[in-house]
Amino acid sequence: MAEWSSDIAALQADPTAKNMADPIKVYGDLAYCEALVTLESGVAALDTVKLVQVPAGFRLITSLSSVVTDDAGGTATIDIGDDDDTTAADADRYADGLDVAAAGVDIFDANASVARLTPYTTKKTCWIKLTFATLVTPIVGSKILVKMVFARL
């Protein structure tokens, strides 16, 4: 059976000044947030909802973040992104095309997104936003609970 090292383990095995492990990958405080969205009359595809404002230095951990819904409508998919335009704002940086039409739970990592394999740390204070990518016959009053875990770096 073979054994090899991740990028962090390789750096930690040879802790010279040149090879010191990036503490961001090893340390950090966690922050948790739940944002409840209630579908209102007139909501339509491409509408956006501000979920939470975060300061610079926050990283949303997509594998620990999820969306819980009770039944948003006939067809309903959402994206989760931010308006951090330091590099480029990205409407689906953290979650792309999550199906919230039926009741259930979706982890942000369920579909490919930019931050899934390339984590993004906010460069300035910004809003984490939900965008209704598709929305047909929404059920007014239905709820979408967005649970987010951040590393404060």
DSSP string, 54-103: E-TTEEE-GGG-EEEES--EEEEEEEEEE--TTT--EEEEEEEEEE-SSS
Residue 36 has what pLDDT? 96
Whether the per-residue pLDDT at 68 is higher than 90: the answer is yes
Q: How far is CA 124 from CA 18, 120, 148, in A?
A: 28, 12, 18
What is the C-alpha R_g of the chain?
Answer: 18
Q: What mean pLDDT do residues 29-45 have?
A: 93
Domains, in order of start, for the chain: 30-152 (2.60.120)
Whether the per-residue pLDDT at 140 is higher than 80: the answer is yes
Residue 69 has what pLDDT? 95
Place of tokens 């999550």: 98
Q: Binning pLDDT at 50, 70 and 90, where does residue 116 land?
A: confident
How many beta carbons lie within 10 A of that of residue 77, not counting itself?
A: 20
Indicate the pTM of the whole model: 0.84
